[in-house]
């Protein structure tokens, strides 16, 4: 993963708390105590760990209190080590984080249906607080295996006493189709396990619902380089640089453009975060990200150059 190190923020860990089984909250503060950059519900930061790993976490503190940021970290057994490394850090440790990026924004004045599964409560918690403070109608459904595994549950109940808490062990899984059908025309904001989000996408398509998702991890297909970087070869014309760059089978547009000396910001490099989103001036796109909506894909005016490719022929990019 590549990041512009000059934009990173030096922070220290101010506090760490156990929020549920396997879940810690981690608070970051600048060493000099100055305010951190502004952010809005749905935003996340990328944490640059001492090992060189980078991991993205949604902010769930208060945007109007920029003295610190708070994230929730689930320790993932059998993962690649990033969550375990986060859990091994201690109060006072210094790390770097990216400025907040928001690929999951909350509309300013619209009623909302909020659905959280497990650690997916982290961005939804910030949205809950914002909607409550605005006096905007909303409904929150928070699902998990059992209450002991559900982070920030007391905070959720304090912010939204009417929230529906569904534990699989006691109640089974929530009826997502009935839930969406009961709120026609209401935008849905959801974050949680891939299976839940896939189900919501399918249900939303059937019902014509406006479903907006935040995924913490890519689907298997997105993580498979052999599929992502398949032939044929094609070229990208870089409008601002005045250059044409070839993209071979086995490399991404991002890799090819960087190899040609053109700097492009990126973070996850898996089609999830939106950092490398690039305007497309001409050409047809083979979208392979997990971020753009069907309508945005249909418009064909933007793409994630870390994973998406040309559908046929060359592409003209605003780079």
Per residue, what are the HEC states of the chain? Answer: CCCCHHHCEEEEEEEEEEEECCEEEEEEECCCCCCCCCCCCCCEEEEECCCCCEEEEEECCCCCCCCCEEEEEECCCCCCCHHHHHHHCCCCCEEEECCCECCCCCCCCCCEEEEEEHHHHHHHHHHHHHHHHHCCCEEEEEEECCHHHCCCHHHHHHHCCCCEEEEHHHHCCCCHHHHHHCCCCCCEEEECCHHHHHHHHHHHHHHCCCEEEECCCCCCCCCCHHHHCCCCCEEEEECCCCEEEEECCCCCHHHHHHHCCCCCCCCCCCCCCCCCEEEEEEEEEECCCCCCCHHHHHHCCEEECCCCEEEEEEEEECC
What percent of the chain stands above pLDDT 70?
A: 89
Check pLDDT > 70 for residue 218: no
CATH number of the domain at 112-214, out of 3.40.50.80, 3.40.50.1240, 3.40.50.2300, 3.30.230.10?
Answer: 3.40.50.80
Strongest mean pLDDT among 53-62, 260-269, 283-292:
53-62
Residue, of 233 and 221, whose pLDDT is higher: 233
Check pLDDT > 90 for residue 140: yes
Residue, of 150 and 3, whose pLDDT is higher: 150
The CATH code belonging to domain 5-97 is 2.40.30.10
The CATH superfamily label for domain 225-317 reads Beta-grasp domain (3.10.20.30)
15 Rama class: left (phi>0) / alpha (psi -120 to 50) / beta? beta
Q: Which of 77-81, 172-176, 255-259, 295-299 has the lowest mean pLDDT?
A: 77-81
Strongest mean pLDDT among 78-87, 224-233, 279-288:
279-288
Residue 272 binned pLDDT confidence (cut-offs 50, 70, 90):
low
Closest CA to 175 of 203, 214, 146: 203
Average of per-residue pLDDT values in the chain = 88
What value does the CA radius of gyration of the chain take, rounded to a whole number of Å?
Answer: 20
pTM for this prediction: 0.71
Tokens of 286: 């083979």
Residue 77 binned pLDDT confidence (cut-offs 50, 70, 90):
low
Residue 217 binned pLDDT confidence (cut-offs 50, 70, 90):
low
Residue 110: Cβ-neighbour burial (10 angstroms; 0-12, 13-18, 19+)? middle
Check pLDDT > 70 for residue 13: yes
Check pLDDT > 70 for residue 276: yes
What percent of the chain stands above pLDDT 90?
A: 64
State residue 24's pLDDT score: 95
Cα separation, 146 vs 307, whole angstroms: 36
Residue 188: Cβ-neighbour burial (10 angstroms; 0-12, 13-18, 19+)? buried
State residue 124's pLDDT score: 98
State residue 198's pLDDT score: 81
Tokens of 99: 């400025």
Bridge partners (DSSP) listed for residue 10: 96
State residue 226's pLDDT score: 37
Cα separation, 265 vs 251, whole angstroms: 17
Unique residue bearing structure tokens 């014309």:
237
Residue 80 binned pLDDT confidence (cut-offs 50, 70, 90):
low
Sequence spans of domains, the chain: 5-97, 112-214, 225-317
What's the rounded mean pLDDT across residues 274-297? 84
State residue 2's pLDDT score: 41
State residue 312's pLDDT score: 85
């Amino acid at each position: 993963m590549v990041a512009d190190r000059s934009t990173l923020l030096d922070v220290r860990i101010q506090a760490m708390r156990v929020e549920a089984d396997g879940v810690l909250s981690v608070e970051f503060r600048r060493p000099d105590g100055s305010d951190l950059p502004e952010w809005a519900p749905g935003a996340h930061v990328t944490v640059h760990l001492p090992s060189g790993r980078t991991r993205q976490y949604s902010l769930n503190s208060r945007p109007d209190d920029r003295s610190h940021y708070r994230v929730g970290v689930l320790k993932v057994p059998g993962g690649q080590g990033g969550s375990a490394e986060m859990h091994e850090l201690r109060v006072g440790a210094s790390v770097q984080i990216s400025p907040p990026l928001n690929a999951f924004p909350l509309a300013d004045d619209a009623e909302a249906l909020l659905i959280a599964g497990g650690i997916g409560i982290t961005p939804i918690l910030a949205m809950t607080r914002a909607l409550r403070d605005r006096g905007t109608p909303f409904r929150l459904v928070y699902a998990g295996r059992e209450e002991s595994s559900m982070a920030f549950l007391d905070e959720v109940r304090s912010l939204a006493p009417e929230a529906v808490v569904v534990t699989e062990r006691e109640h089974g899984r929530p009826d997502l189709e009935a839930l969406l059908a009961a709120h026609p025309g209401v935008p849905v904001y959801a974050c949680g396990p891939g299976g839940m989000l896939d189900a919501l996408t399918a249900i939303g398509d059937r019902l014509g619902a406006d479903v907006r998702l935040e995924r913490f991890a890519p689907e298997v297909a997105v993580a498979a380089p052999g599929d992502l970087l398949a032939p044929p070869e094609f070229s990208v014309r870089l409008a601002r640089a005045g250059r044409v760059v070839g993209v071979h089978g086995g490399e991404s547009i991002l890799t090819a453009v960087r190899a040609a000396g053109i700097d492009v910001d990126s973070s996850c490099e898996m089609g999830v975060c939106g950092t490398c989103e690039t305007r497309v001036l001409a050409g047809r796109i083979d979208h392979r990200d997990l971020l753009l909506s069907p309508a945005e894909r249909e418009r064909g005016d933007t793409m994630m150059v870390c994973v998406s490719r040309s559908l046929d022929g060359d592409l003209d990019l605003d780079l």
